[in-house]
């Protein structure tokens, strides 16, 4: 494998010894490589690259409904949109809310999923199978569906959660609206997000954990390490590449949570429920200030990039991703 | 010497650990599956058990009335048809393009390869909600707003990177010696690919295809923005608009939700092992 991948030119170009010399012209492997990625590059350039450039352009223009319908070019206004956003105290609240929400979601997801992965490994076969089936069912639930289901569970009138919590002595949950208070409201949305995110992370981590040689952990145990030490000193270092991937992906997904907030609030999220993605969307399409929405989106992408590019570069350097 | 008691102690600890793990496993399963159970149960509950202050945790009178109401709600058939068309088109195109790119990455060395991999990873980082505005304007200018093809195009952008990443792991997992051997035996590179590599990455293809299918089956916000006609909406958009249009008929809503989720659950059950292993392969293997 290595001989072939490291010296493909040789493998493809030189005729194998003993066979009659062939005169057919072969494409150089490099050219084949380029031809193979061409369609993908075209699609991604068209549907991600161009819109990204367009997004950046839009954020320094002032595009309103008038330009959209008349087809007139939108005037350039420089950094006006950014100035407008950055001087808006609400914006910082939205950023803080988004960061806190993301941090809570990612931390909860990783901790709970790690716990589940460890439980899966320690449990009996039947229990592991049970957990796998359950995780798959949860994993497969579309976000829109699960958000609607959680809204039904937390319904203020007939919700089963209100009934259950109301069983506790001295608690009256009659007609309790979980979304009336932002903290408990985001608590519910966090539950929806984390519940949906756990299966992917748990199954991925379990797949990794089951590949960790048992002997290593046994050896550590014989040397007197406790379970916590074994996890952090032996298991975790081996699983680091997997943790990197799932952390980066979780941050990306949770930072841009849109569907859960949008659907949970019935398509009309109140200002105190707006995270960056929702905020940008509401500004752009709600008031038709496309440029302002674009500037918010650019800031969102930049914030994400700061975190993730650092993470990915590090992984690339360490050769964890090739 | 010291190994005898230590082995016994370890075994004892592990036995206790297993019981504890099983207990936690059962509790976690019940908690995690409850929302799904509640959805399906609600979908089958007769009307007089739906809206009760004291919940019924099971029903002895399952009914299909909720499903019937959901199916006969306006535009259900349209939404189902649109979702099927969009999901399958996205899947087929994504599969072909991703396989080509995966082979390019796993099998060939070319200038800019690492940059391409980096780009694939970074592209997944761009929030879809950030691209809604420019995508909408772009599709608007080429007359693709309110068309299913425009939606397929946008879904490709979000499905391709992950598909390439997953498939890459599978292609890299096929020893290149096999291909070389076939080529030594007189196959062309193309023949070697079709006869040797393709059959071996087939599980990966299945996993990727269903991933693409599910993503485009479940996507909500792009479809919501891009498809303005009610006849054009997809299942998730239909499901959400169904709530506001009729007040909340939770029985029918949960029936609709069950119908939308069921095929996904079945597909996922078939492929989840491959997705997880493909991802782990992508993360740890070269």
Domain boundaries, chain A: 32-320
Q: How far is B85 from chain A (nearest CA, A)?
A: 18
| pLDDT average, residue stretch A197-213 | 90
Same domain for B227 and B135: yes
**Domains of chain B: total:** 2
A175: left (phi over 0), alpha (psi -120 to 50) or beta: left
B5 touches chain A (CB under 8 A): no
Q: Hey, which residues does B245 pair with through a beta bridge? A: B247
Is B118 found in the same domain as B39?
no
Rounded to whole angstroms, the Cα distance separating A120 from A118 reads 5
Residues 6+ apart with CB under 8 A from A275: A94, A97, A98, A101, A257, A258, A261
Burial of A61 (C-beta count, 10 Å sphere; 0-12/13-18/19+): buried
Q: Is residue B69 part of a domain?
A: no
In terms of C-beta density within 10 A (0-12 exposed, 13-18 middle, 19 or more buried), how is residue A240 classed? middle
Q: Are B39 and B95 members of one domain?
A: no
Tell me which DSSP letter residue A289 carries: -
B67 domain residue, yes or no = no
The predicted pLDDT at position A315 comes to 67
State in Å, rounded, how far the first CA of chain B is from the last one: 43
> Mean pLDDT for each 10-residue chunk of chain B (286 residues)?
46 68 96 96 90 85 93 93 96 94 88 85 74 87 89 90 86 85 85 86 85 90 90 93 78 94 84 65 48
Residues of B in contact with A8 (CB under 8 A): 107-109
B86 plus B119 within the same structural domain: yes
Task: Specify whether the CB–CB gap between B239 and B81 falls below 8 A.
Answer: no
Question: Which of A44, A118, A251 best tests the B interface by mutation, with the highest count of B CBs <10 A?
Answer: A44
Q: Which residue has the higher pLDDT, B72 or A173?
A: B72
Question: Beta-carbon neighbour count of residue A227 at 10 Å?
Answer: 15
What number of other Cβ atoms are within 10 A of residue A212's Cβ? 16
Nearest to A304 among B127, B137, B260 (CB): B127
Same domain, B56 and B145: no
Alpha-carbon gap, residue B224 to A65, rounded angstroms: 19
**Are residue B152 and residue B252 in the same domain, yes or no?**
yes
Chain B interface includes A96 (CB < 8 A): no
Q: Could you tell me if B152 and B257 lie in one domain? A: yes
ipTM of predicted complex: 0.83
Least Cα separation, residue B246 to chain A (angstroms):
13
Q: What is the b/e burial string over B103-137, where b = at least 16 CB atoms within 10 angstroms of the residue's CB?
A: bbbbbbebeebeebbbbbbbbbbbbbbbbbbbbbb
| Domain-embedded: residue B150 | yes
Please check whether residues B219 and B89 belong to one and the same domain.
yes
Beta-strand ranges (E) seen in chain A are none
Secondary structure of residue A200 in the 3-state scheme = helix
Within-domain flag for B232: yes
Question: The domain containing residue B30 runs over which residues?
Answer: 19-62
Domain match, B56 and B180 both: no
The closest CB to that of B38, out of A119, A149, A281, belongs to A149
Give the model confidence (pLDDT) of A70-114 as tens digits. Answer: 777 788 888 888 999 999 999 999 999 999 999 999 999 999 999
B112 in Cβ contact with B199 (< 8 Å): no
CB-nearest partner of A141 from B36, B104, B123: B36
Which candidate from B51, B261, B280 shows the least CB-CB separation from A145? Answer: B261
Residues A267, B214: Cα–Cα separation, whole Å: 23
Residue B156: half-sphere exposure toward Cβ, Cα within 13 Å: 26
State residue A226's pLDDT score: 87
**Which pLDDT band holds residue A160 (cuts at 50, 70, 90)?**
very high
CB contact under 8 A, A58 and B133: yes
Domain A32-320 has CATH 2.120.10.10: no
Of B26, B186, B261, the CB nearest to A142: B261
Centroid of chain to Cα A319 = 23
On whether residue B32 sits in a domain, the answer given is yes
Q: What is the pLDDT of residue A284?
A: 86
Nearest to B18 by CA among A172, A128, A269, A124: A124
Q: Which of residues 218-247 of A touch B (CB under 8 A)?
A: 221-222, 241-242, 244-245
Phi, psi angles (nearest 5°) of residue B247:
65, -170
Say what the pTM is. Answer: 0.83
CB B261 within 8 A of CB A196: no
Q: Output the six-digit token pair for A187.
A: 């608590």
Mark which residues 102-141 of A lie under 8 Å from B by CB: 115-116, 119-120, 122-124, 127-128, 130-141
User: What pLDDT is stored for residue B282 in this prediction?
Assistant: 54
Same domain? For B177 and B268 the reply is yes
Interface test with B, best of A2, A25, A101, A142 (most B CBs within 10 A): A142
End-to-end CA distance of chain A: 15
Do B58 and B172 have their domain in common?
Answer: no
């Amino acid at each position: 494998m290595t001989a072939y991948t490291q010296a493909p030119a040789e493998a493809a170009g030189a005729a194998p010894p003993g066979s009659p010399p062939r005169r057919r012209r072969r494409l150089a492997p490099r050219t084949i490589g380029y031809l193979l990625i061409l369609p993908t590059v075209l699609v991604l350039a068209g549907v991600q690259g161009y819109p990204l450039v367009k997004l950046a352009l839009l954020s320094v223009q002032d595009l309103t409904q008038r330009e959209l319908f008349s087809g007139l070019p939108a005037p350039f206004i420089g950094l006006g949109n950014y100035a407008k956003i950055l001087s808006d105290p609400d914006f910082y609240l939205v950023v803080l809310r988004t960061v806190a929400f993301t941090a809570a979601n990612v931390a909860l997801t990783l901790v709970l999923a790690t716990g589940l992965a460890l439980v899966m490994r320690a449990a009996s076969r039947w229990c592991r199978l049970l957990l796998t089936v359950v995780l798959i069912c949860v994993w497969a639930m579309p976000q829109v569906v699960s958000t609607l289901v959680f809204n039904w569970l937390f319904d203020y009138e007939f919700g089963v959660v209100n009934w259950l919590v109301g069983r506790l002595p001295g608690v009256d949950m009659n007609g309790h609206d979980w979304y009336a208070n932002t903290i408990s409201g985001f608590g519910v949305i966090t539950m929806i997000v984390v519940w949906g995110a756990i299966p992917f992370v748990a199954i991925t981590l379990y797949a990794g954990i089951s590949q960790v040689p048992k002997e290593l952990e046994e050896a550590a145990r014989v040397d007197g390490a406790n379970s916590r030490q074994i996890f952090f000193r032996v298991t975790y270092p081996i699983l680091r590449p997997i943790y990197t991937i799932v952390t980066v992906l979780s941050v990306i997904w949770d930072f841009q949570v849109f569907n859960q907030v949008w659907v949970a609030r019935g398509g009309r999220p109140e200002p105190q429920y707006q995270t960056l993605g929702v905020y940008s969307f509401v500004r752009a399409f709600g008031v038709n200030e496309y440029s302002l929405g674009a500037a918010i989106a650019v800031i969102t992408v930049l914030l994400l990039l700061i975190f993730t590019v650092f993470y990915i570069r590090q992984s690339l350097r360490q050769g964890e991703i090739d | 010497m010291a190994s005898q008691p230590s082995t016994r102690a370890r075994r004892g600890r592990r036995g206790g650990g297993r019981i504890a793990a099983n207990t936690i496993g059962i509790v976690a399963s019940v908690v995690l599956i409850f929302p799904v159970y509640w959805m399906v149960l609600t979908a089958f509950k007769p009307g007089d058990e739906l809206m009760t202050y004291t919940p019924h945790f099971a029903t002895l009178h399952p009914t299909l009335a909720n499903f019937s109401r959901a199916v006969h709600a306006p535009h259900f058939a349209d939404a189902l048809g649109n979702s099927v068309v969009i999901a399958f088109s996205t899947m087929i195109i994504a599969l072909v393009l991703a396989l080509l790119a995966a082979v390019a990455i796993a099998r060939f060395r070319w200038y800019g390869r690492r940059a391409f991999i980096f780009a694939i990873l970074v592209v997944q980082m761009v929030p879809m909600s950030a691209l809604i505005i420019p995508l909408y304007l772009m599709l608007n200018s080429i007359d693709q707003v309110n068309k299913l093809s425009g939606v397929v195009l946008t879904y490709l952008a979000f499905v391709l990177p992950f598909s390439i990443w997953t498939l890459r792991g599978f292609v890299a997992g096929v020893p290149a010696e096999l291909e070389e051997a076939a080529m030594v035996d007189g196959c062309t590179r193309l023949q070697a690919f079709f006869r040797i590599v393709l059959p071996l990455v087939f599980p990966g293809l299945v996993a990727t295809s269903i991933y693409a299918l599910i993503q485009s089956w479940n996507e909500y916000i792009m479809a919501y923005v891009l498809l303005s006609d009610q006849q054009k909406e997809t299942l998730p958009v239909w499901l959400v608009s169904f709530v506001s249009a009729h007040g909340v008929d939770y029985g029918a809503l949960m029936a609709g939700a069950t119908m939308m989720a069921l095929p996904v659950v079945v597909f996922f059950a078939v492929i989840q092992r491959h997705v997880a292993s493909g991802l782990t392969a992508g993360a740890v293997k070269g």
